Structure formats: structure tokens, C-alpha cells
Amino acid sequence: MNKNTPGVKTTVSETLNKSQAERQRLERIQVKRQRTLFRIRHNIIVGIIVILMAATALLFMMPTVLTITNSFMSATEIAANYGKIFGNVGSGSKTYISERVNLKLIPDMISFSQYSTVLIKSPQYLFKFWNSVILVVPITIFQIIIALSASYCFARFDSKIRSLIFFVYVILMLMPYQVTLVPNYLVANWLSIINTRWSIILPGIFAPFSVFILTKFMRRIPSAMIEAAKLDGAGEWQIFTRICVPQCRSTLYSVAILVFIDYWNMVEQPLVLLSDSEMHPLSVFLSKINTGDVGLAFAVATIYMIPTLLMFLYSEDYLIEGISYSSSIKG
Amino acid sequence: MQSKEKELTKVKKAKKERIHYIGKAERRERKATGLFLLPSLAGMLLFYILPFFVVVYYSFVDSPVNREFVFFDNYKNLFRNDAFRLAIKNTLQFSLLAVPAVVILALLLAMILDANIPFKSQFRTIFITPLMVPVASIVLIWQVIFHQNGALNEFLSLFGKASIDWLKSDYSQIVIITLYLWKNIGYNMILFMAALSNIPTDIIEASSMEGANAVQRFFYIKLRYLSSSVLFVTILSLINSFKVFREVYLLTDNYPYDSLYLLQHFMNNTFRTLDYQKLSTAAIIMCLVMIVIIGIMLLIDNRVGRDLSE
């Protein structure tokens, strides 16, 4: 018995060890299996999310892409596709009108005829386009220049008066057109600039939106930088032009884009302030295009979105950065 | 003893002078920087602030010529005006439907894009693009989709649904809400993404170590940090919901279906008859409503913000 005991012991411990090893092995396999299961589940979830997002993204792109592709259709194709909606599309009486509406992604035949009509034969669209440019470009440029200097004042020092004025600016920024257009109209009437382009440009130049964003950005410029410039003998004007403005460059791009697109889209101001529809920008005029010219309308619509889309392509990152800075009302 | 006292007073005096001197320099700087505000302030006063007081004045007199003080008669008349009531009702209804929808959906998109999914930046680009497309440009497509004989009805007829003229039905607000969502989700999404990336990661890590699941992490941590952006986005979306007149006007012109008659339609029609009293009173009411809403939002923001910093 005494001899056997160690042997028994060893076998017991061996079997114990064995079973433990076995158990560990099994556990490891199980963990592995769980992990792979988890990974598969994770991948499936991610896959579903990506597919859903892709579907949403497709829906989001659809209006823009369809407008662009439709602008390359010939007049007859437009008539065939949308005849049921826009009535007598096209001038020809013998055009074939399909029974159903065809929302086509790719035109049967790519044609530039609509563009040539818009650009060469009927210049009234280009006039309206020019109307938009002549309103929006000065507003964007001067609003930013004035906002830069104002935000320099707000960012350099904080006092009770300044924060009160800034608060008024913010409130005004948040006011809808229904509120601000009435004062604008009164002043335009008083200055007798009503029904001229100035009645839109001047209030636009002093709109507080870009002051808000630029102030937020300028407050982030380290004061040590300004102090150093002061020690070197720089005056306020030099600090402003040499230090603060160059620091703001990327924000300037995004503010410029945001202001530009906002006014490029304008509808309310021209309707109220410009009774002469000759001066209306393309954003208002586009909806007035006769149903007979739907094909043209697609081409004009595409031309109208080119400037903003180009800006977006060239400066998406700046734009996103700029929007991110405006993420709360308080400084 | 006496010499010591003299010295002390001298130091005090010098200190005083020094402080005084700094104060002077700073005051000079303040004045100099104040000059930078002048052009903007002058324009603001001329085009927005001073005429606004005139608007307030007009809302209390019977006509700009007579100038007889009539207290709240203009307000009473306006609230009795059916068109105004309809406009208020529609605008409120639209905002109440559209604003929560855009905030929640934008937050959802931002959360998804904040997690690491493939094609993240492409998705982001696609969702912001509508911001950069002029509304006037895509109005045509919207008409093609939602017309009586349009693409959506064509699609629904596959399931045997009768066709409706969407823009001239009770569903017309839904059409506009879709357009509004399409246009505004991107901007809000970016604001939320910026806020999400500002949440300190160690807190989230700590919470997941403690065994908080994704839902808990979202409601107890992320939402707290996002609260101030949620408020800002809500205000922004609210303002943009008042701007939706653009879309409605471009789609349906001056006299839309009843459920699309918005405040700006009312204002435009009043501008045409140049009824200063009505205009001013409506503007003041609108302004007061906005101030109350913004005030409430700021109060909530302050309370939540204080909570967070403790």
C-alpha cells in the first residue's frame, strides 16, 4: 500500500493535470469561438449599418445628381420623360410623351443643347445669374472685412459694455427674417434706396453672423502672441493685420462660404425689397421659368449650383472646421 | 521710525501710481480696439437696432401718419386676423415636427459616423453636400418626385396606393419637412460630431471598465456632454425652420395649399399692401417669441453646464 500510494498520487495528479489542461484547452477554444462569433456579429452589425448609411447617402445625393444628369438631356427626351408633369413641354407638337414618369439617372443621349441655349441663345438667364453675383459677392467680401474688425474688438478685451453689445449681436443673428426684414424695409424706405440693389447689399454687409464665428475664433488666439507683438512695439492696427487676420485664414474661408451660400440662396429679401423683378437673382427667378422650358431649367439649375459646389470641393475641411467653431452660443 | 513710515508711503504711492499707469495704458488700448467696432456697430445701429425701435413704436400707434397711441389694439387686431392665425399655426406645427426630427436624426448620424465605420469621410461629405446646393436648383426634382403624376406616386402605385398631389394635400408639410431634413441635417451633424470629439475619452473608458453598456454610456455620459450643443442645434434648427418659406415659395409660389401658408407668406402679402401696423406688430410678436425661446434655452444650458463643471 505504502509503495502504491505515490503512484496513485501521481496518477491522480496526472489525471487532474490532464483534466485541467483539457479544461483550459476547451476554455480557450470556447473563448476563441466566442471571439470569432462576436467578431462576426460585430461585422454583420457594421455591415448592416454601412448598407443603411449607403442607402441614405444615395437618397441624399439623388436630387443633386438627378438635376445634373437631367441637364444633359435633349429637349425631346425631357418632354418624353416629364411630359405628364409639366404639361406641354417643348415647343414641338409631335413629341412623344410617355405614359409614365421616367426619373432617369442617365440620359439616353448626352447632349449639350440645353447649355448652348442657355449660354448663347437666351441671355436672360445669364442676366439673372449676374444679378445674383452682383448681390452676393459684395455682401460676402464686405461683411467679412467689417466682421473681422468688429470681432477683433470683441476678442481683445472683455468688458460689460462689449459683452452686452455682443449679446445683442447674437440675438440679432438668431432673429428670423420675419423680424429683421421690417426694420430693413423701413430704413431702405427712409434712405430711398428701396427697389435698388443697395437695399439688400447694405443690410447684408452688416449682418452679425460672421462677427459671431470670427469672434469665437479670435478668442482662441493666445494672448502671449499679442503681448509679444506689443513688446516689439506693434500698434493695434499692426496686431490686427499682422497677427490676428493671418491666424484666422482658415476660418475666413469657411465663413466666406457660409455667407456666400446663405445669400446665394436668398429669396425673402429680393421678394420684399426689390419689387422690380428684372433685378431678381436667379434663386428667385428659377421657380418662375415657364413649364415649357423645363429642360432649360435643369441646365440653369446646374449652372447655378456650380459655384457653391466648387467652393465646397476645394475647401470642405475648412468648412467643417468653421462650422465646428460655432458649436455653442456662449464664448 | 519716521523714515520707515515715509518709505512705506512712498512704496504705496509708487504702487498706486504704477497701477494707475497700467490702468491708463489699458484704457488707451481699450479705446483703440473700440475703434475697430465702430463700422460694424454703426451699420448695425442704422439698419437693425434703431429702426427696430421705430418698429416697436409703429406697433403701438394707429398709423404712421396719425400717430395716435392705441396701446395693444394692433396686437388684438392681429390675433383676430385669420390669415395670421393660420400662418402661426402652420409655422408652429412645422417647427414642432421638423426641429425634433432634424436634431435626433443628425445626432444619430453623428454617432454612427463617430464610431469607426468604413467610408466615414465619404458619408460625411455626402451628408453635407445638400448644404451647398442652392434650394432653387433642386426644386424641379422635388416637383418631379412629389407631383400628382410624379415619381413617388408612380412608385406607390406598385403597391396599389391611389395617387395624391402631395403638395396640395394634407401631407404637404411632410414634403417640406423632407426637404428641410435634406438641407439641414449635414450642418447639425457636423456640430454634433465636433461636440462628440470633445468628450474626454478617459471618462468613456472608465465607464466601460465599470461595465456600462453602449446605451448607458450614451444616456449618462455623452448626452450630458452634448447638452449644450443639443440646445444650440435646436435653436439653429428652429431658426432654419422659420426660413423654410424659401422652399415653400419656390415650390408653390405665393399662395400655397392652406397647410403650407407660413408666417413669411403673411409678411410678404402684408408688405405688398404696406400695412405698417400689421407688419410691425407681427415682427414684434415674432421677436418676443424668439427671445423667450432663446432665454429658456440659455437657462437650461446654464443649469446643465453648471452641473457638468462640478
Please tell me whether residues A159 and A213 are part of one structural domain: yes
User: In this predicted structure, what is the pLDDT of residue B100?
Assistant: 94
Give phi and psi for B149, each to the nearest 5: -100, 25
- Write out residues 21-40 of B within 8 Å (CB-CB) of A: 29-30, 32-37, 39-40
End of a domain among A86, A111, A136?
A: A111
Lowest mean pLDDT among A111-125, A206-220, A309-323, B99-113: A111-125
Taking contacts as CB-CB distances below 8 angstroms, the residues of chain B near A208 are 44
A330 in a domain, yes or no?
no
Let me know if residue B174 belongs to a domain: yes
Assign A327 a pLDDT band (cuts: 50, 70, 90).
low
Measured between CA atoms, the residue of chain B closest to residue A62 is B141
Question: Does A290 fall in a domain?
Answer: yes
Instruction: Kindly state the average pLDDT of the residues A259-265.
Output: 91
Does B270 have pLDDT greater than 70? yes
Do A255 and A139 share a domain, yes or no? yes
Chain A residues in contact with B193 by the CB 8 A cut-off are 324
Q: What angle do CA B136, B140, B143 make, to 5 degrees?
A: 120
Write down the mean pLDDT value for chain A.
82
The per-residue pLDDT for B203 is 80
Residue B208 placed within a domain: yes
Say yes or no: A75 and A56 in one domain. no
Provide the domain limits for residue B35. Answer: 1-58
* B31 lies in some domain: yes
Mean pLDDT value of segment B197-219: 80
Residues B81 and B30 in one domain: no
Q: CA of A207: which chain B residue's CA is closest?
A: B44
- Contact list in B for residue A172 (CB cut-off 8 A) is 44, 48-49
CB contact under 8 A, A308 and B232: no
- State the pLDDT at residue B207: 80
The answer to whether residue A50 is domain-embedded is yes
The three-state (H, E, C) secondary structure of chain A, written as one string:
CCCHHHHHHHHHHHHHHHHHHHHHHHHHHHHHHHHHHHHHHHHHHHHHHHHHHHHHHHHHHHHHHHHHHHCCCCHHHHHHHHHHHHCCCCCCCCCCCCCCCCCCCCCCCCCCHHHHHHHHHCCHHHHHHHHHHHHHHHHHHHHHHHHHHHHHHHHHCCCHHHHHHHHHHHHHHHCCHHHHHHHHHHHHHHCCCCCCCHHHHHHHHCCCHHHHHHHHHHCCCCHHHHHHHHHCCCCHHHHHHHHHHHHCHHHHHHHHHHHHHHHHCCCHHHHHHCCCHHHCCHHHHHHHCCHHHHHHHHHHHHHHHHHHHHHHHHCHHHHHHHHHHCCCCCC
Pair (A29, A89) in one structural domain: no
> Residue A235: what pLDDT?
84
CATH of the domain at B173: 1.10.3720.10
Task: Tell me: do A54 and A102 sit in the same domain.
Answer: no
Q: Does B74 touch chain A (CB under 8 A)?
A: no
pLDDT at B98 over 90: yes
Q: Does the structure show a pLDDT above 90 at B69?
A: no
Does residue B63 form part of some domain?
no
Q: What is the mean pLDDT of residues A204-220?
A: 89
Residue A137 sits in which domain range? 121-325
Q: Are residues A266 and A303 in the same domain?
A: yes
Are residues B173 and B287 located together in one domain of the fold?
yes
What band does A146 get if pLDDT is binned at 50, 70 and 90?
Answer: very high
**Residue A204: pLDDT band with limits 50, 70, 90:** very high
Give me the CATH number covering residue A218. Answer: 1.10.3720.10
Regarding whether A106 and A16 lie in a shared domain, the answer is: no
Q: What is the pLDDT of residues A18-51, one digit of tens each?
A: 788 888 888 888 888 888 888 888 889 888 989 9
Number of domains in chain A: 3
- Asked if B239 and B133 sit in the same domain, the reply is yes
Do B51 and A183 make contact, defined as CB atoms within 8 angstroms?
yes
Question: Given B55, B190, B231, which is nearest A320 (Cβ)?
Answer: B190
Instruction: Tell me the percentage of chain A whose pLDDT exceeds 90.
Output: 16
Identify the band that residue B17 occupies on the pLDDT scale cut at 50, 70 and 90: low
Q: Are B127 and B10 part of one and the same domain?
A: no
Domain check: are B237 and B109 in the same one?
A: yes
Q: What's the number of domains chain B is made of?
A: 2
Q: Which of A279-293, B80-94, B237-251 has the lowest mean pLDDT?
A: A279-293
If asked whether residues A163 and A219 sit together in one domain, one would say yes
Say yes or no to pLDDT of A205 above 90.
yes
**Looking at the structure, do residues B29 and B164 belong to the same domain, yes or no?**
no
| Alpha carbon of A179: minimum distance to chain B alpha carbons (Å) | 5
Q: Are residues A234 and A315 in the same domain?
A: yes
Cell of B105: 436624426
Contacts of B239 in chain A (CB under 8 A): 174, 176
Let me know if residue A27 belongs to a domain: yes
**Does the residue B92 lie in any domain?**
yes
Terminal-to-terminal C-alpha distance of chain B? 51
Inter-chain contacts counted by CB atoms under 8 A, chains A and B: 270
**Residue pointed to by grid coordinates 446665394:** A264
Q: Tell me if B154 and A101 make a contact (CB, 8 A cut-off).
A: yes
Chain B, 205-264: which have a CB under 8 Å from a chain A CB? 228-229, 231-232, 235, 239, 242-243, 245-246, 249-251, 253, 263-264
Both B244 and B211 in one domain: the answer is: yes
Does residue A284 have a pLDDT over 90? no
Residue B112 and residue A49: Cβ atoms within 8 Å?
A: yes
The predicted model gives B244-272 an average pLDDT of 83
